[in-house]
A and B are shown apart, each in its own frame.
Chain A
Amino acid sequence: MLPGPLALIAELTHRCPLHCVYCSNPLEMQKAAAELSTQDWARVFQEAGKLGALHAHFTGGEPLARADLTELVAGARGAGLYINLITSGLGLSEKRLAALVEAGLEHIQLSFQGSREELADEIAGTKSHAYKLQLAAMIRRFKLAFTVNMVVHRQNLDDLEEIIAMVERLAPDRLEIANVQYYGWALQNREALLPTREQLERSQATVSAAEKRLSGRMRIDYVAPDYYARYPKACMGGWGRRLMLIDPAGQVLPCHAAGVIPGMTFDNVREQSLEWIWRESAAFQKFRGEDWMPEPCRSCDRRGEDFGGCRCQALLLTGDAAATDPVCSLAPRHDLVEQIVARVNSSEAVPLIPAAASGWIYRPNPR
Chain B
Amino acid sequence: MLPETTSQPRLAAGCRWAEAIGAERMLLFPEGAIRLQGTGREILERCDGVRTVQQIVEELQTLYSAGDPAQIQAEVVGFLEKLQQKRIVDF
User: Binary interface profile of B, 63-91, with partner A (CB < 8 Å = 1, else 0)?
Assistant: 00000000000000000000011110000
Q: Bound complex: CA of A173 vs CA of B90, how far in Å?
A: 11
| Interface contact B14-A106, CB-CB below 8 Å | yes
| Interface contact B26-A54, CB-CB below 8 Å | yes
Q: Which of A64-72, A140-148, A195-203 has 4 or more CB atoms under 8 Å from chain B?
A: A140-148
Q: Bound complex: CA of A341 vs CA of B29, how far in Å?
A: 37
* B interface, size bucket: 10 to 19
Q: Indicate the member of B12, B13, B84 with the most A CB atoms within 10 Å.
A: B13
Q: Note all chain A residues with C-beta closer than 8 A to B85.
A: 215-216, 219
Which chain B residue has the least Cβ–Cβ distance from A145?
A: B14
Which chain A residue has the least Cβ–Cβ distance from B32?
A: A55
Q: Note all chain A residues with C-beta closer than 8 A to B30.
A: 84, 106-107, 145, 147, 173-174
Which chain B residue has the least Cβ–Cβ distance from A106?
A: B14
Q: Note all chain B residues with C-beta closer than 8 A to A82.
A: 16, 28-29, 33
List residues 93-131 of chain A with CB under 8 A from any CB of chain B: 106-107
A selection of 24 A-B contacts at a CB cut-off of 8 Å is A54-B18, A54-B26, A54-B28, A54-B33, A55-B28, A80-B18, A106-B16, A106-B28, A144-B14, A145-B12, A145-B15, A145-B29, A145-B30, A146-B13, A146-B14, A147-B30, A173-B14, A174-B87, A215-B1, A216-B1, A216-B84, A219-B85, A219-B86, A219-B87
Report which A residues bind B (CB closer than 8 A): 6, 54-55, 80, 82, 84, 106-107, 143-147, 173-174, 215-216, 219
Report which B residues bind A (CB closer than 8 A): 1, 12-16, 18, 26, 28-31, 33, 84-87
